[in-house]
Each structure stands twice: as structure tokens, then as C-alpha cells.
A and B are shown apart, each in its own frame.
Chain A
Amino acid sequence: MGIAFDLGIRLGISVILGLGGGLLLDSWLHTSPVFTLIGMALGIGAAMYTIWDVAHDAMRK
């Protein structure tokens, strides 16, 4: 159950971290919205990777 809670939160946080990083880079380099979009895509990718990582670990056990 703890892993399920953790996974749910990490999915959201991954997207927020990617998006936040992209927004910060854009405001710093004045390249909006290039890094915001890249950051969002990476965040969504990280969320998908997290699902795979947790599932892979569960299957290994």
C-alpha cells in the first residue's frame, strides 16, 4: 500500500519537477516556451519511467 501511495505522489511530482525546471530555465534564458515544453515532456517521461521502475522491481521480487 505504501508503494502505491508513493507511486501516485511521484507521478505528479515528476511532472511538476520537469515543468518547474523548464519554466525556471525559460525565465532565466528568455526562451519561453521551449524549455517549458521540453521539461513537461521529460516530466511525463519520468512519470512513465517511475511506473516501469516500480513494476520492474515488484516483478523481480
Chain B
Amino acid sequence: MIHVEIAAETLFTIGGFEVTNSMVGAVLASLLLLAGAWYITRRSALVPHRLQSLLELPVEWVANIVQGSSTRWRGYVALVIGLFIMILVANWLSLLPGVGTIGINHEVDGHEVLTPLVRPAAADLNFTLGLAIITFVVFVWWGVRLHGPLGYLKELVGEPRYMAPLMFPIHLISELSRLVSLSMRLFGNVFAGEVLIATMLALTTATLFVLPLAFFVPAIFLGLELLFGAVQALVFALLTMTYITMAIAEGQGDHADEHPTGDDHDVQPSTTTASSPA
């Protein structure tokens, strides 16, 4: 029987604080990233060896994209790369054997239900909403930094001023829609992927007649999930970059590249146009 739980399941509580299986997934992804970072910083070489090249490849790739987004790319490149790597590792971790399949059995309404010990972090709305809130705060901060607090509020109110009662809620809804869109897209895609794989496994192991298919059909979908996991991580990271770039461009006006302000040492004359997300 397929059991799909939209909310992450609580494994245990520590002093009233509920530890869910998606938290375990997020912690595992973080530990994996820390181990990778530790390895790179301890054993890095000027001419990278194979493993170092492999670990540096996604970082360099995203850094090259961000470099072309605006003249102030140094201010947010770490966030974009961090988001990409974290989501990528969290998504790919869900494809490992045991994730979602090893857990604790318990009875619900007479049926035996499995509570997995590890659940993909992005299959929990709390995780994706947390990341989206970080992104939201950062691009609002960039807007406030370049306009000033009053200038940012004036931007929200819009021109002409007598249209403020109409334009302020419209601007507010439009800004909030970014937060919801970022979090819901990632959660929806990863959760749907989990449900799809569970359904395919259940269908192909349902009867002895179709049992041989259980070895091939889920493998196809696991391969697709490998691709979707990377695409979703990239989309989240690049949309973060796009939102920040938009906030910077609005702050600097349409002549941003002619009169860069503030941290001019970040200016890269040859890279002034934004790249579109994949």
C-alpha cells in the first residue's frame, strides 16, 4: 500500500522540539557538504586532481554564470553558489538506497505504515520556505541598500503618488508572489518526484507477472530525478540571482553601468549583462 505524507514525520522530540525525518535529510546533506569543503581546503592543489576538479566543477560553473549578471556580483555570488550546492546535494541524496525506504513501522487505522528515517529535505515545505525567505530577505536588503529605506518604500508605493492605494497592495502581492513561487516550485517538484518513484515501485512490485519490470521502470524515473534535481537546484539559484539583479538594476536605474556607485572595485567591464536562467 502506498502511503504518502505531505508533512514531514516527527521521529523524536528533544525538550519539546520535534525532530522530523526531513531535518535528518537536511543535516546529512550539510554534513556531506562540510566533508567536501574540509577535503578541498585540506588537500587542494594549484593543479587540481580528479576529485578536486569534480568538487570544484559545479562551483566554477555557477560562479561563471553569476559573474555575468551585474557589476556587483561579488556581493551575492556566495549565496547563489551555496543555494545551488545545498539544494543539489539535498535532492541527489534522496536517490540513495535507504532514503525513504528504511524506517519505523507503525499502525495507522489498521494498516502498517512506514515512517522513513530520512526524507529528502526539499520534500518538506519548511525547508524550501526557509531558503526562499533567505532569498527574499537578501533581495529586499539589496533594494533597501541601494534606494535607502524610504526610497524602497517609495518604490513600493510607485508613481504617481495618488495611485498609492492601488499600487502599494499590487506591488506587495507581486513581491510576496516571488517568495511563494520559489518555495512552492521546489517543494512541489521534489515531493512529486518522491511520489512518482514510490508509485512506480508499488505498481511494478504489485504482482509476480510484472515483477521483472521492478528492476527497470523505477531506474528510468530515478535517472529522470537525477536530472530534475539538478535543474530545480539551478532554477532556484538562478532565480535568486535574477531577483537580486533586478533589485540592483532598479536601484541603479537604467544607467547602472555608466555610473556604478558604492563598491566600484567589483566592476567587471566585460561582464555587464545578466544571464537568463536555464
A: residues with CB less than 8 A from B are: 1-3, 5-6, 9-10, 13-14, 17-18, 21, 42-43, 45-46, 49-50, 53, 57, 60-61
Q: Roughly how many angstroms separate A13 CA and B184 CA in the complex, as a whole number?
A: 10
B169 within 8 A of A: yes
* Chain B, 200-248, CB within 8 A of any chain A CB: 234-235, 238-239, 242, 246
Set of chain A residues within 8 Å of B185, measured between Cβ atoms: 5-6, 9
**In the complex, which of the residues A2, A46, A53 contacts B276, with contact meaning CB atoms closer than 8 Å?**
A2
B178 → A minimal CB distance (Å): 7
Would you mind naming 19 contact pairs between A and B with Cβ atoms under 8 Å apart? A2-B242, A3-B276, A3-B277, A6-B185, A6-B235, A6-B239, A10-B178, A10-B181, A17-B176, A18-B169, A42-B169, A42-B170, A46-B171, A46-B173, A49-B170, A50-B177, A53-B246, A60-B249, A61-B273
Set of chain A residues within 8 Å of B242, measured between Cβ atoms: 2-3
Closest A residue by C-beta to B168: A42
Q: Assuming the A-B contacts A1-B277, A2-B278, A3-B242, are A45 and B249 also in contact, with contact meaning beta carbons closer than 8 angstroms in the complex?
A: no
Beyond the given A2-B239, A18-B173, could you list 19 further A-B residue pairs with CB under 8 A, ordered by the A residue number?
Answer: A2-B278, A3-B239, A3-B276, A6-B181, A6-B277, A9-B184, A10-B181, A13-B180, A13-B184, A14-B177, A21-B173, A45-B170, A46-B170, A46-B171, A46-B173, A46-B174, A53-B174, A53-B246, A57-B246
Set of chain A residues within 8 Å of B180, measured between Cβ atoms: 13, 17
Q: Roughly how many angstroms separate A46 CA and B176 CA in the complex, as a whole number?
A: 10
B11 → A minimal CB distance (Å): 32
Secondary structure at the B interface, as helix, strand, loop or mixed, is helix
Set of chain A residues within 8 Å of B254, measured between Cβ atoms: 60
